[in-house]
Structure 1
Amino acid sequence: MGNPEHRFPSIHVAGTNGKGSTSHMLAAILQSAGYRVGLYTSPHLKCFTERMRINGVQMEQEAVVDFVAQHQALLEEIQPSFFEATVAMAFWYFAAKEVDIAIIEVGMGGRLDSTNVITPELCVITTIGMDHQQYLGDTLPAIAAEKAGIIKPGIPVVISHYQEEVADVFLGRAQSLGAPLVFARELVHLEATADAGMYRMGRSKAAYSFEHFTLALKGSYQLENVRGVLAAIPFLQASGWEISEAAVLQGLEQVQTLTGLKGRWQELGRDPLILADTAHNVDGIRHVMQQLKAYPYRKLWMVLGFVSDKALEPVFALLPEDAEYVFTAPAIPRAFKLEELEKALAPKRWKRHFIAGVPAALQFAKENAAPDDIIYVGGSTFVVAEIDEL
């Protein structure tokens, strides 16, 4: 295809949790600074073309058709995976549309990920947790080693969240390649305030003059993500990208409207309050449960579904016994089937219901919840994707 990935600057974002939010925040800030920004993320929620956006606008379906038409012989010869073909399509699209810069989110891992053919301006690695162990390894250092595979010779790398058990993995990889590495906490001192989405800046080596800012993305777990983003901006500025503090503030405050991000602690209704989040592994669900504790409610309803390649017992161990559960299954082949869920949950004493179809499961919860209850919908990105109100 002529290496379209060499025809635009890029930022590479890896991690177990937070890489999607981080990618959207970076894109929103660069858009606010006046740049034409490509954004590649996965998976999509509603439509395939969500994966490729330019300044928040999805790739045209006609462009997908054009890509396949132009490259059909090559695709049939090479027989790439779906993800490989999609990454190639994104790079072709961003090159053809002459973006100023593209934010590229890793699909899985990093070292062997299809996106790892770019030579970016900057790498950002977010939180490391247990996910995709069958592919990436069954310890945090092993998984971190795969994520660290995006680090390139001489290319700066920001680690959003300092985790003692994996810090040496990143330091070792960066030192061996002569890549400047910084842990975001060394540059940016940040704390969440009592108001959801409000943050207070402390004394930071990254010289921001503002003391407070608002992040459109709610959820306490965004603290580490936004710290990583704020640590990344000075590296971009040092490379010649003109990004004002006003652009930073606007990008963070308007990230959803600028980039079209959905499904991150998203409020879908009130009386009862309905919240949806794409958290789908142990670390993600742990943050969800911590966040829910901050809300007053009479009863918590949890509408949950999962995919079959996830270990569910560690997730079940985090869930409260006094919630009312509505289990469902997303309409994909990888879904954890309801009959299998019933077997897995047999020893539990939870109050639970099993309802086929995400819309029907959510409707059941809405019909039975009181106005002062909370309904949480999640367990899998694919569950959130099937919410009609999203």
Structure 2
Amino acid sequence: MNTYQETLDYLFAQLPMFTRIGAVAYKKDLDNTLALLAALDNPHKKFKSIHIAGTNGKGSTSHMLAAILQANGYKTGLYTSPHLKDFRERIKINGECVSEAFVIAFTEKVKPLIERIQPSFFELTVAMAFEYFAYRDIDIAVIETGLGGRLDSTNVITPLMSVITNIGFDHVQILGNTLQEIAIEKAGIIKPSVPVIVGEYLAETKPVFEQKAALENAPVYFAEDLLTIEDTEQEINRLLVKLKSIEGTIYVLSSDLAAIYQQKNIRTVWQSVLVLNQLIKLDIAKAITALQNVMLTTGLAARWQVIKTNPYVVLDVGHNVDGIQQILEQVKILKAKNKILPDAGIHIVMGMVKDKDITAVLSVLPVTFHYYFTNAHLPRAMPVNELQALAANFNLIGNAYDHVNTALEHAEAIADKQDLIIVCGSVFVVGEVDI
């Protein structure tokens, strides 16, 4: 019997892994996934599910919905990716990670299938999650897509409800160069007669969702048309959002997911709750309470996560233009509301991966911030010296560090007590921070 680490070494070495090597690991069909699941007696057909896609916010949305379902007494599976620290974070039941023993046993069992089918890392992980959820006899699972939707390995389920958070430019080399093309891929999770919640839309994307929903005879709910954000109250580690329905009902929701961008995710989640309440039994009061402690309940991390004070150190997995702009908006609001001092210095510790639109991200960053460049330790990471040189083209000046913790130590040494340090740019850089 292999150890857990030996099992992970085998999986990482044997299977093409998008998070490590990029687009060459992406399989543009569902054949491998379907073959794996068929050999496992189709575990994905043995539990109810909710399917989540979108450019940004799908992880937070998935965790919020899982917390709400768990608070309502449902044995709740949660499948997300990538992981920050431990592979097991991808597969959870009621906030607890899959056991090392199951990961080992499953991998040993499917080695002949791996040799025959030659799946990607993500395809095998999806099969592992579905097998675990069926084995543990869960009530319902919240399933986050990995990339896209139409051809994503998770898109073999027939869920109770589908959720599409938003559409932005990301993974354009795979999903398409226009917002319409990307929306078509995300809309691929819409299933016949299954209601779909769309969190945010643009003029270019709304017709895509309407047409796909009509084709599938799927009821479609546009959250931003049905719920208005009336007010928000911002603290550095908590967010309060006041929503108003078109019928005039007021919902006051507080969350430990404190970033201002979470107001839109909370709206998407709440519209999902209102629709889901027509499909399964939910206690709305318990749903409201569940939002207050999502990180504690599900283990979500690095979404504007404050890990230190004096100075504040925040982890955020923002890694594309939309994500970075949301971080900048958060800083602007906190300064305007004196949650951090208006003259506080802002220190950015960042690394990125090579297949992102790095120049677009760098172009929106202020030259007045202090920068500390670094890289994660995987083949897909942009080497820190290359990132530093690119940043200099935008007058973003900072030293280069081979490890995020070294960069963070230097930032903390330089920052004043009232300053704010943000680690961002890549999930993998954030994942290497020592907490």
Question: Under TM normalisation by the shorter chain, which class is it?
Answer: over 0.9
State which drifts further: 287-296 or 276-285: 287-296
Range 228-237 or range 272-281, more displaced: 228-237
Q: Is the 8 A contact 2:310 2:419 kept in 1?
A: yes
CA distance in 2, matches of 1:173, 1:192: 33
2:22 is aligned to none
Corresponding residue to 1:371 among 406, 417, 430: 417
What SS is found at the alignment partner of 2:364?
coil
* Distance of 1:203 and 1:170 partners within structure 2: 22
Q: Which residue does the alignment assign to 1:98?
A: 137
Deviations 1:286-335 (A, max 9, x none): 11111111233421111010001112111111100111100000111111
2:53 alignment partner AA:
A
- Matches of 2:432 and 2:423 in 1, distance apart? 10
- Judged with a 3 Å threshold, the aligned counterparts in structure 2 of structure 1 residues 270 and 176 are, in CA distance, closer, same or farther, namely same
Question: How does 1:256-295 map onto structure 2 within 5 Å?
Answer: 256-294=295-333, 295=335
**Structure 1 residue 351 displacement after superposition:** 3.3
Q: What corresponds to 2:114 in structure 1?
A: 75
> Do structure 1's residue 323 and structure 2's residue 369 form an aligned pair?
yes
**Match of 1:199?**
241
1:73 shift after superposition: 1.1
Matches for 1:135-174 after TM superposition, within 5 Å? 135-174=174-213
**How big is each residue's C-alpha offset from its partner over 1:139-175, in whole Å with a ceiling of 9 and x where there is no partner?**
1110010000000111000001132220000100010
- What is the alpha-carbon root mean square deviation over aligned residues? 1.3
Choose the corresponding residue for 2:219, options 161, 180, 204: 180
AA partner of residue 82 (structure 1): F
| Deviation for aligned residue 1:283 | 0.6
Residues 54-63 or 249-258, more deviating: 249-258
Is the counterpart of residue 342 in structure 1 residue 385 in structure 2? no
Where does residue 217 of structure 1 map in the other structure? Answer: 257
Distance 1:85 1:349 in 2: 43
In structure 2, how many angstroms separate the alpha carbons of the residues matched to 1:3 and 1:345?
Answer: 48
The structural deviation recorded for 1:365 is 0.3
- Matching residue's letter, 1:309: D
For residues 211 and 235 of structure 1, the distance between their equivalents in structure 2, rounded to whole angstroms, comes to 15
Say whether the 8 Å CA contact 1:87–1:115 is kept in structure 2.
yes
* 1:88 equivalent in alignment to 2:159: no
Cα distance per residue 1:187-222 (max 9 Å; x no partner): 3222342333011122444x86x6422111011111
Q: Per-residue displacement from partner, 1:225-276 (whole Å, max 9, x unpaired)? A: 111111111222211x221122111211111111000000000111111111
Question: Which of 19, 24, 31 does residue 63 from structure 2 map onto?
Answer: 24
Distance in structure 1 (CA, Å) of the matches to 2:178 and 2:269: 26
| Match 2:99 to one of 60, 81, 86 | 60
State the Cα distance separating 1:383 from its structure 2 match. 1.1
**1: CA distance, partners of 2:420 / 2:134:** 45
In 1, Cα distance between the equivalents of 2:304 and 2:358?
21
**What is the rounded CA distance, in whole Å, between the counterparts of 2:170 and 2:122 in structure 1?**
18
Residues 211 and 4 of structure 1, relative CA distance in 2, 3 Å threshold: closer
1:107-118 paired onto structure 2 within 5 Å:
107-118=146-157
Structure 1 counterpart of 2:278: 238
What residue in structure 1 maps to residue 290 of structure 2?
251
1:50 maps to amino acid: E
Q: TM-score, normalised by structure 1?
A: 0.96
Which AA in structure 2 matches 1:357? Answer: H
Secondary structure at the residue paired with 1:198?
strand
The letter of the residue matching 2:268 is G
The answer for unaligned runs of 5 or more in structure 1 is none
Unpaired segments ≥5 residues, structure 2: 1-39, 336-340
- 1:191–1:223 CA contact under 8 A, matched in 2: no
- Give how far 1:49 is off: 0.4
CA contact (8 A) 2:226 2:245 kept: no
Counterpart of 1:89, as a letter, is M
Q: Which 10-residue stretch deviates more, 282-291 or 70-79? A: 70-79
1:49 alignment counterpart: 88
Give TM-score, length-normalised by structure 2.
0.87
| Aligned residues of 1:30 and 1:247 also touching (Cα < 8 A) | no
For the 8 Å contact 1:192–1:223, the answer to whether it is kept is: no
Are the equivalent residues in 2 in contact too, given 1:328–1:357 (CA < 8 A)? Answer: yes
Tell me the SS of whatever aligns to 1:194.
strand
1:360 aligns with 2:406: yes
String of CA shifts for 1:3-43, please: whole Å, max 9, x gaps. Answer: 10000000000000000000000000000001100000000
| SS class of match (2:221) | strand
Structure 1 partner of 2:344: 298
Q: Residue 229 of structure 1 aligns to which amino acid in structure 2?
A: V
User: C-alpha distance in 2, partners of 1:43/1:107?
Assistant: 8
User: C-alpha displacement at 1:66, in angstroms?
Assistant: 1.0
Paired residue secondary structure (1:195): strand
* C-alpha distance in 2 between matches for 1:192 and 1:67: 48
Give, in whole Å, the separation in 1 of the partners of 2:222 and 2:104.
42
Checking the alignment, whether the CA contact within 8 Å between 1:38 and 1:102 is kept in structure 2 is yes
